Amino acid sequence: MKKLAACLVTALAVGWSSQAHAECTYADGTAAPAPGMSEQAKTSNAWGPRFVSLYNNLNKGDQATLDAMLDHRNSALVTSKCSPNDLFWTHLSLVGLSEEDPESLSEGLPEIARAFKLTDQGRRRIPAMLEAGGVRK
């Protein structure tokens, strides 16, 4: 929560460009990844367990949002920039399971929020990863 507050204070103090996501950091101070495909992440065999770990760090409401998106094909999620949920969805985008959906943002929201939707690959792979990780039966 402190990290989200720091990002929002920064956004309000200096304004937030569309490139500002690269300025988000994790609690340990390391830079968050920029959204988009990462060849290294796409080919990593260890990504399924990393997904479960990231999923378990979400609050119950954010987990429920993912479940709802799996059930509703044309849905999109809007989340605050630099929030744990934003970082989760960014990681999904690195391996092609989600993608940014800027058309889902109302005027003014791109300054403080980002939108994501699941890809077809995400819709297929995520339930199996949740099951393999013991999160879902």
* Span 8-60, pLDDT tens digits: 333 333 333 333 444 677 667 777 766 665 566 555 556 677 788 889 889 99
User: Side by side, which strands form the sheet with 77-80?
Assistant: 77-80, 113-118, 98-100
**Does residue 61 fall inside a structural domain?**
yes
**Does residue 137 fall inside a structural domain?**
no
Portion of the chain with pLDDT greater than 70, in percent: 67
The boundaries of the domain holding residue 89 are 2-132
pTM attached to this predicted model: 0.69
pLDDT tens digit string along 58-72? 999 999 999 999 999
**Residue 81 tokens, joined:** 């920039």
**Does residue 34 fall inside a structural domain?**
yes
Tell me how far apart the alpha carbons of residues 119 and 18 are, in angstroms, rounded to a whole number. Answer: 22
Portion of the chain with pLDDT greater than 90, in percent: 28
**Does residue 68 fall inside a structural domain?**
yes
Tell me how far apart the alpha carbons of residues 36 and 42 are, in angstroms, rounded to a whole number. Answer: 11
**Does residue 72 fall inside a structural domain?**
yes
**Residue 72 tokens, joined:** 């509703």
The one-letter code for the residue type at 126 is I
Number of domains in the chain: 1
**Does residue 128 fall inside a structural domain?**
yes
Tell me how far apart the alpha carbons of residues 92 and 116 are, in angstroms, rounded to a whole number. Answer: 10
- 120: pLDDT confidence band, cut at 50, 70 and 90? very high
Computed from CA positions of residues 62, 59, 4, 95, in that sequence, does the dihedral angle turn out positive or negative? Answer: negative
- What does the pLDDT read at residue 38? 58
Phi and psi angles of residue 99, each rounded to the nearest 5 degrees, phi first: -150, 155
**Does residue 118 fall inside a structural domain?**
yes
